[in-house]
Structure 1
């Protein structure tokens, strides 16, 4: 039976990428060596790293005023690294609280400077994205989480501010076009739309660095990794390789414009069924806040929870159980999820 992988992450990868990656594990480009055992200083890996950076720049429109880094530690490490590198003790950063990950980022940033919570949807268990947020002038930066995997919400538009935006884009990077000029720093764990777990993408505007007075440990200073082209220490070779293959795939599909169209069609198919079907109810209260990546919904009758999960599993739909913070169901439909798999889940819902 065909499996339809709705896991929130690590998430589905394109089948062709998995095949190419498997071939590279056995023998990278006819070198007689596995990608798992080549030196990170070798010409073979430098070529991979250069292509990965080039693809990031091409797909997102990243200019030379930004550095592109491939680091480790996940987005969770970037919660404190971003503030440590950019926020001085006497400065204030604005944070928009839309879920578990932004709340953790707020906690970490308070170790380094002043934090002003500009808006929050915590009062409704994060069922919407705050709109028309009043953002004062003079902030060092404004931080937001672009897509919330747990609660199924997403910023469809990014706020205007005189301060640069910082965004955790772990779960929707490369899924749509973004106004890069608004951002001073973007970070993203790879394991949703870009590759396997183990590498974290950081895009940072270089002129924002070197302006805090605190002493930064060498490994925690973005400038260290810029100077050494992401290879100050041994980088995560295999995750970078698979990410490079995935970005090649995104480009071959038509780039971010094609991804955006593809993702919108899949999400509409599923949301239409949720809205039509009396057995289910969407958890996001504002339709304009609905995520195109993570669709969250609950049964109208709680007694239907386990029977529906069983029906979904019988149809090969895996990873549909919702996060404990929301309950019910969650269908993660990242870039690599084909529309046919979303249709398979919709068919189960109709039959149910």
Structure 2
């Protein structure tokens, strides 16, 4: 059995959500938060507007798109979009990981829409040639639980015309880490707790003019809970779309987001953040490609995520085991790394193929990924031996 490596990552946070705080973060970053103030006060409204303006600037969101916050993190933001906008047309949904399937279940079982689900197993994308531009389209840009992302925006070309359906994109593991094609997206959502390592509970919802027009012209006739409601009377609620809070937000969370946005600006904006992702993911990619017992869940190299990198065991002796035994192996590898203070929360998603998941988003340092790699080798060897398994 190999000896423990001599160096450990300085920042062992590799969870896929909430993710690592920005480098250098301390609780002192929240000291200026306007706690105990009304969410209608000038100072608190000013904090929200500042965060939204910085979000628009860093992500290069067009000036005629609406950017605002809603309760419930990314889930709340995407549910609000679905409940308020869908039903005017047939809907297609891409389900290739857990959250894509969640939206598909909501559309078919709860909203009971005229919906077609284009599915693919973990590691693959659905057949994108089956997309109908006249239908509303729902999909995650990056599958957090599968490590699969769409390779480009070419499959959205048919939707980029005036009479096509809306495109609703769950961008929560892509925003700030991947370049999103705003001219082809009508709805995009994300949460602070993903790419920028923010605290949880608030989602960001972005609407194109086309989506706002749908909001103004379409009446779903369904009852919509207040925390998801984007209309006032028969039209879009101008106050909410203008940045007003649907309900009271935590200004500790807003302050933390502002701190992360300021850091993102110092890192060079979107280009700098994407470069940081590519460097961290690149270190992990190089190791996987030369390590015989591990491989990407993503089958096609062009679809590999650079944020939520999902890995599976491919040693033939391990693959011959039951899924339960493989999951036990993955859990033990994760536990060993956590006990050593090397890496936290890197076991793969429970519904995904048994394996590991390493977050390589922009708040992760590439050198910490490099330091993690020999520990992965060590933990795997120890876990295989402890469980009485025989690896090839």
TM over 0.5: yes
Distance 2:17 2:125 in 1: 22
- Secondary structure, aligned partner of 1:39: coil
Distance 1:154 1:75 in 2: 17
Distance 2:46 2:219 in 1: 36
Distance 2:50 2:78 in 1: 27
Distance 1:185 1:310 in 2: 39
Structure 1 residues 131, 247: closer, same or farther in 2, change over 3 A? farther
Write out aligned runs for 1:198-217 (5 A): 198-205=201-208, 206-215=212-221, 217=224
Aligned equivalent of 2:284, options 250, 266, 270: 270
Q: Which residue of 2 aligns with 1:309?
A: 334
Q: Which residue of 1 aligns with 2:360?
A: 333
Distance 1:48 1:58 in 2: 15
- Secondary structure, aligned partner of 2:104: helix
Q: Which runs of 5+ in 1 are unaligned?
A: 29-33
**Could you tell me whether the CA contact under 8 Å between 2:74 and 2:202 is conserved in 1?**
no
Deviates more, 1:331-340 or 1:318-327: 318-327
Structure 1 residues 328, 43: closer, same or farther in 2, change over 3 A? same
* Shift, 1:85, TM fit: 1.3
- TM-score (structure 2 length as normaliser): 0.79
**Could you tell me whether the CA contact under 8 Å between 2:311 and 2:357 is conserved in 1?**
yes
- CA deviations 1:145-198 (Å, max 9, x no partner) are 111121111123122232332111112211122111111111112211132111
* Shift, 1:101, TM fit: 0.7
Q: Which residue of 1 aligns with 2:228?
A: 220
Aligned equivalent of 2:99, options 98, 101, 107: 101
**Could you tell me whether the CA contact under 8 Å between 1:120 and 1:130 is conserved in 2?**
yes
Write out aligned runs for 1:148-297 (5 A): 148-158=143-153, 159-160=155-156, 161-162=158-159, 163-194=165-196, 195-205=198-208, 206-215=212-221, 217=224, 218-223=226-231, 226-228=238-240, 229-297=243-311
- Secondary structure, aligned partner of 2:129: coil
Distance 1:254 1:209 in 2: 35
Q: Which residue of 2 aligns with 1:31?
A: none
Distance 2:127 2:295 in 1: 23
C-alpha RMSD of the superposition? 2.4
- Secondary structure, aligned partner of 1:96: strand
Distance 1:241 1:112 in 2: 39
Structure 1 residues 270, 219: closer, same or farther in 2, change over 3 A? closer
Which has the greater radius of gyration? 2
Q: Which runs of 5+ in 2 are unaligned?
A: 1-7, 160-164, 319-325, 382-392
- Secondary structure, aligned partner of 1:5: coil
**Could you tell me whether the CA contact under 8 Å between 2:77 and 2:204 is conserved in 1?**
no
Question: Are 1:39 and 2:38 matched, yes or no?
Answer: yes
Q: Which residue of 1 aligns with 2:71?
A: 72
Deviates more, 1:287-296 or 1:206-215: 206-215
- TM-score (structure 1 length as normaliser): 0.87
Name the count of aligned residue pairs. 337
